[in-house]
Amino acid sequence: MAGARQPGVAEPEARFGETQLIRPRLGQGAFRVLVTDIYQRRCAVTGERTLPALEAAHIRPYGDGGEHEAPNGLLLRRDIHSLFDAGYVTVTPDRRFEVSCRIKEEFDNGRHYYALHGQLISVPDAVMQGPDPAALTWHNENRFRG
């Protein structure tokens, strides 16, 4: 029987929620390209070069007044970006990578991240495109769970 519904098989519409309209952040795509290029397609912390694993991170989030500009960006490996946004890691104004003790306390883990603790991050060659110390201070004071 063509078009007959089989028992136990969900209708295609039932597998998905309602369609939603999402307001894109203007400039996000250009920000990603800019940050990826100025960091020479390498994670600022690990040096990772696998492009699908890298993300342009805002130091001060766009939603909190941060701009889509090079000094407000870091190219980070996806897992480090997630930890950065959640405040479990940060970069100090003197460009050192810091890991919160809360990773160990809350997740009983973090050995790979603690191995990176205290190291200098890589920055773009052009000084004006490097991370803004004021933005890094903002992240340390408002996001980092040190």
**Which pLDDT tens digits describe the chain residue by residue (146 residues)?**
555 556 665 555 567 677 766 545 446 788 999 999 999 999 999 999 999 999 999 999 998 999 999 999 999 999 999 999 999 999 999 999 999 999 999 999 999 999 999 999 999 999 999 999 999 999 999 999 98
* Angle subtended at Cα 33 by Cα 30 and Cα 54, rounded to the nearest 5 degrees: 130
Residue whose token pair is 């870091």? 74
Cite the DSSP H helix spans in 39-115.
Answer: 78-86, 102-107, 111-114
CA distance 99 to 112: 10
Cα–Cα distances in Å, from 111 out to 4, 31, 103, 115, 117? 55, 31, 9, 6, 10
Q: What amino acid is encoded at 34 in this protein?
A: L
Global pTM reads 0.82
Cβ neighbors of 97 (< 8 A, separation 6 or more) are: 45, 89, 90, 91, 116, 117, 118, 119, 120, 121
What is the CB neighbour count within 10 angstroms for residue 138? 19
Domain range annotation of the chain: 27-142
Question: First vs last Cα of the chain: how many Å apart?
Answer: 64
